[in-house]
Homo-oligomer: A and B are copies of this chain.
Amino acid sequence: MNLDLRNTARHLGLLMFVLSALVGAAAGFAGWDHAFAGHADTADIRALSATILIGVVVGGLLVFVGRGKAHMLGQREALLLVAASWLLGAVIAAMPYRVWSSLRPDAQVTAHSFDTFVNCYFEAMSGLTTTGATVVESIGTLPRSLLLWRAMTHWLGGLGIVVLFVAVLPLLGVGGRRVYRIEAPGPTPEGAMPRIQDTARILWFIYLGLTVAEVAALKLCGMDVFDAVCHTMGTLATGGFSTLDSSVAGFSSTAIHLVIIAFMVLAGINFGLYHQLLHRQWRSVLKDSELRAYLAIMFVATVIVTVCMLRAGQHVAAGGSQPAPVGLTVRDSLFQVVSIQTTTGFCTADFDAWGFTAKATLLILMFIGASAGSTGGGIKVVRILIAAKVILAEVEQVYRPKIVRTVKIGKAVIDPDLKRSTLAYVLSIAILFAIGTALLMFFESEGGVDITTAATASAATLNNIGPGLARVGATQNYAWFGASSKIVMCVLMPLGRLEMFAILVLFSPRFWRVE
């Protein structure tokens, strides 16, 4: 069957309208900031307005191209829609940065990271995929409206652009379920909810509820509303963009740290479990194998990092030689472990200065990641559980060839297809990580980038973390990479966020072929 490109184009066009409306929200804030908060310059208002115009024109063209009778989306069309919406969505999301950079008052005098489109696209893709890797060298140079837009890209990408679309517009029909399956992270969507639109709406209500709760909590701890909103969006999407160069380390209040830790942990849990909680199914939530493993890994990693820090007698935050108070060491170790495992990427410590064992622990957490069905990235805890159990069963098979043990997660028996696809997934991540590392080394070979930087940049973008080690460490940024390297990472980020296949199929000749 031929790919129905027209139908896909029409849906993509409608999605551009939705995105433009969201840019409108940021533009509204920019107007308010100009009118009431004493922000004199209007470059950001004009940039955001221009983006809305571009979005509407592109959307209109796509709808025009795709006019005619609407069909249901097939599997391939749904994949194409998701892939195209992320790749094109990032173009729209990059526009405010790029246009603002040309219009800002000192554009002729000083250079800015946003002077090149590839940097803006990197920042937008990093936002939408909830990676949180930034090319902005000094965040203070950005107007507040763009900081809000940056945080909004996280928030939108957290649950998925298209899932939002499904929730708002009842257009996709059966295709909607397909789209949802592609965008929702993890192998097992929990619960058996009858209609896909209902599912999408429930997810967004839970997401909104958590958002309101975290903004209120941060406000109570003394953060101002603007910072609270931006950091909340970064937390719940497990994104990591901050409004400060020093990230969360810039807020000294322990209460703020604890609130962000709590909501990062919550964002990394399967949202299906919240749905079960709403139905008062406490028991099944508490018995959930992935939740238990997720919290257990977090606990063990925190203990390891804390012990390393205390033994080294280093102040984790400062990385200096002064002995640290135990409480502060525990707090900062916990923050960094949670931030990396949930793939958020906020920093309260320069963990690049930590010892080998602590850094290796964080690197392992980058690959493990959060729970399936959460906003977090990485391989996902449930996949790690399945892969580990399959490999152990494989070893036992060698010395007890006649015993066939079923592999179980909780009470669910893992069927052969899921075993195979899980192993294939984990292996593919390892291969993509290696390819990413090799390409970054190759493109940066003139600058002589070290392998730690290349490998952790590859891991941090593929798993949607944000910061890595060495030259992409907690206090560094991604601005210094060449354009080719940035394009590589702009492919790695959606590969990780969409769990590879939606992007990978675009490279498969058979996908495009008529059959």
Q: Once bound together, how far apart are the Cα atoms of A396 and B399, in whole Å?
A: 35
A138-146, A280-288, A415-423 - the one binding chain B: A415-423
Q: Once bound together, how far apart are the Cα atoms of A416 and B416, in whole Å?
A: 8
Q: Which of B75, B420, B426 contacts A399 (CB 8 A)?
A: B75
A388 vs chain B, min Cβ distance (A): 10
Q: Once bound together, how far apart are the Cα atoms of A445 and B360, in whole Å?
A: 12
A165-173, A253-261, A505-513 - the one binding chain B: A505-513
Contact with B along A388-404 (1 / 0, CB 8 A): 00111011111111000
Say if the beta carbon of A387 comes within 8 Å of chain B: yes
Main secondary structure on A side of the interface with B: helix
Are the C-beta atoms of A356 and B441 separated by less than 8 Å?
A: yes
Q: Once bound together, how far apart are the Cα atoms of A451 and B356, in whole Å?
A: 11
Residue of B nearest to A1 (CB): B400
**A484: which B residues are within 8 A, CB to CB?**
none
Say if the beta carbon of A442 comes within 8 Å of chain B: yes
Say if the beta carbon of A188 comes within 8 Å of chain B: no
Are the C-beta atoms of A510 and B396 separated by less than 8 Å?
A: yes
**A423: which B residues are within 8 A, CB to CB?**
420, 423-424, 427
Q: Once bound together, how far apart are the Cα atoms of A270 and B13, in whole Å?
A: 56
Residue of B nearest to A425 (CB): B394
Among the interface residues A399, A428, A451, A508, which one has the most CB atoms of the partner chain B within 10 A? Answer: A399
**A75: which B residues are within 8 A, CB to CB?**
398-401
Q: Which of B387, B392, B501, B511 contacts A427 (CB 8 A)?
A: B387
**A430: which B residues are within 8 A, CB to CB?**
427, 430
**A401: which B residues are within 8 A, CB to CB?**
75
A158 vs chain B, min Cβ distance (A): 23
**A427: which B residues are within 8 A, CB to CB?**
387, 391, 423, 426-427, 430
**A406: which B residues are within 8 A, CB to CB?**
none
Copies of the polypeptide in the assembly:
2
**A452: which B residues are within 8 A, CB to CB?**
451
Are the C-beta atoms of A395 and B442 separated by less than 8 Å?
A: no
A484 vs chain B, min Cβ distance (A): 14
Say if the beta carbon of A76 comes within 8 Å of chain B: yes
Say if the beta carbon of A438 comes within 8 Å of chain B: yes
Are the C-beta atoms of B441 and A511 separated by less than 8 Å?
A: no
**A95: which B residues are within 8 A, CB to CB?**
none
Say if the beta carbon of A504 comes within 8 Å of chain B: yes
Residue of B nearest to A76 (CB): B399
Task: List which A422-467 residues lie within 8 A (CB) of chain B.
Answer: 423-428, 430, 438, 441-442, 445, 451-452, 455
Say if the beta carbon of A79 comes within 8 Å of chain B: yes
Contact with B along A261-279 (1 / 0, CB 8 A): 0000000000000000000
**A441: which B residues are within 8 A, CB to CB?**
356, 360
Q: Once bound together, how far apart are the Cα atoms of A90 and B458, in whole Å?
A: 40
Q: Which of B76, B357, B424 contacts A394 (CB 8 A)?
A: B424
Q: Which of B360, B387, B445 contacts A442 (CB 8 A)?
A: B360
Are the C-beta atoms of B356 and A395 separated by less than 8 Å?
A: no
Q: Once bound together, how far apart are the Cα atoms of A426 and B426, in whole Å?
A: 11
Are the C-beta atoms of B501 and A398 separated by less than 8 Å?
A: yes
Among the interface residues A75, A395, A452, which one has the most CB atoms of the partner chain B within 10 A? Answer: A395
Contact with B along A365-403 (1 / 0, CB 8 A): 000000000000000000000010011101111111100
**A438: which B residues are within 8 A, CB to CB?**
360
Given contacts A392-B508, A394-B420, A399-B511, 18 further A-B contacts (CB under 8 A): A75-B398, A75-B401, A76-B399, A79-B399, A355-B445, A360-B438, A387-B427, A390-B420, A391-B424, A394-B424, A394-B425, A395-B508, A396-B508, A398-B501, A416-B420, A419-B420, A423-B423, A430-B430
Q: Can you list 16 A-B contacts (CB < 8 A)? A: A75-B398, A79-B398, A356-B441, A356-B442, A387-B427, A391-B424, A394-B425, A398-B501, A398-B502, A399-B508, A399-B511, A420-B420, A423-B427, A427-B427, A427-B430, A451-B451
Name the 6 nearest CB pairs between A and B, nearest first: A423-B423, A398-B501, A394-B424, A76-B399, A430-B430, A356-B445
